[in-house]
Structure 1
């Protein structure tokens, strides 16, 4: 059974089409990225999956059930980007209340609240009110709320937006640690972050699904992305083009180059590059198999 299945999914607001004929089949597993420009339809898609709104046409199901149905209670969770906590109640009280809404008795709801606070490393803040928390801590509490009941699918809308690097790192590590039991669909503009977290990337534009990119497949194509510490671009390009099995090299941005090769063994190209760098005393920052997510989506 598919985790998410959308067929011809469309949503209109008057004359404006927010989504148009979207077909998606997603299976449980590694985190999935949802990207696209503002107004692309990402929030509308999330709202349809959660059952907050109904489609204008088409079909959508999660774990074989209609969004918002009683059969999905506790199995699906979401965290809107602008989710906020009640400023008048301490963290533990709020999470315990949400647990009771899922059907837990008060004792078990409180135990579940403490469990998820431990997941986000905030058990020591259980008795604090939201005003006493930093922005990053409040975001982690909101994520803890979404994790109550160990849902099978969690939708996260911009989970690290506006966070300092330390808190963003904690959230990435949390998603990675739970990926074996919970599937995350993450909407974000941070392509570098999504590239580290996700195996599949869905790209929406003007309400239509334009691309579905597999990051695992991209690591096995005939490209290498090379990032240098700093070098004279013309000299590097000239030298790399002289190596065996190199088809082309282009500077895509400052000190970052996309190399196309025709070698059956990409590691042979990497060895040639490292040998060249040693001979020329050039310093590199990264050699990446395949193309970056940005390159895959927008080249």
Structure 2
């Protein structure tokens, strides 16, 4: 599936968050979306998932204009902030998310079971999500995205607030995903192993869109994280 944002603008108050943004994430592999805080990364992902409509511009799937409903059925987004749903079990919460995205009740239940197994939460399927740890709740959020009937995954700061052990577990989950994935994060360790492409958002526009190799080639440093940071600085004027 080819997802594209074309000349998209969005304004909040007096500020233009996105300024004629055009972006086509790769149709395969894992793409890293970088940008400063407030650069519009979350806004871009929400528009791409159908959760937010732009002021102008269009979103297409395989070259055809896509409605919010089309996007919700084709693109699944994991929000940065995951909420536990009171009075539901973990399995029920994930199944509910799948049902809201268009699956039948039986399909949602089966998809939820598969997704919970993928994120290694089977033993917590009957648990109260309000009693989970922060890392476990983030895995519930990923399971919700995986259970939806989507062809593309968008993950917004999925490792925010996780300790090193939890981040390592999430890294393994990311490597095991079997569909095109776009991930927004500030964690730049091992980017050469985790990602195949990079897009950099600056001042409401995409200022870099290319392979991980080309991106790292813009920076310098004694390790990959330093190279990635240096490349980002060169693209955003902080060098």
Using the size of structure 1 for normalisation, the TM-score is 0.70
In structure 1, runs of 5+ residues without a counterpart are: 226-251, 257-285
Q: Tell whether 2:233 aligns with 1:298.
A: yes
Structure with max Cα Rg = 1
Question: Which residue of structure 1 lines up, in the alignment, with residue 237 of structure 2?
Answer: none
Is 1:204 equivalent to 2:201 in the alignment? yes
Mapping 1:9-20, distance limit 5 Å: 9-20=8-19
Give unpaired runs (5+ residues) of structure 2. Answer: 235-239
The separation in 1 between residues aligned to 2:65 and 2:218, in whole angstroms, is: 42
Cα distance in structure 2, aligned partners of 1:99 and 1:91: 13
Q: Assess if the C-alpha contact under 8 Å between 2:74 and 2:150 holds in 1.
A: yes
Q: Is the 8 A contact 2:7 2:22 kept in 1?
A: yes
For the structure 1 residues 205 and 133, does the alpha-carbon distance in structure 2 shift closer, same or farther, using more than 3 Å as the test?
Answer: same
Q: Which residue of 1 aligns with 2:182?
A: 185
After superposition, give the CA deviation of every residue in 1:179-199 in whole Å (9 maximum; x if it has no partner): xx3111111111225443112
* Per-residue CA distance 1:258-280 (angstroms, 9 max, x = gap): xxxxxxxxxxxxxxxxxxxxxxx
**CA separation in 2, counterparts of 1:54 and 1:95?**
25
CA-based RMSD:
2.5
Matched, 1:215 2:212: yes
Q: Which stretch of structure 1 is more off in the superposition, 48-57 or 86-95?
A: 48-57
Contact map agreement 1:3 1:62 (CA 8 A) in 2 = yes
- Equivalent runs, 1:90-129 vs 2, <5 Å: 90-129=89-128
> What TM-score do you get using the length of structure 2 for normalisation?
0.86
In the alignment, the residues of structure 1 paired with residue 52 and residue 162 of structure 2 have an alpha-carbon distance, to the nearest angstrom, of 29
- Aligned-partner SS, 2:189: helix
Task: Look up the match of 1:89.
Answer: 88
More moved, 196-205 vs 31-40: 196-205
Which residues of 2 match residues 1-299 of structure 1 at below 5 A? 3-149=2-148, 151-178=150-177, 181-217=178-214, 256=222, 292-299=227-234
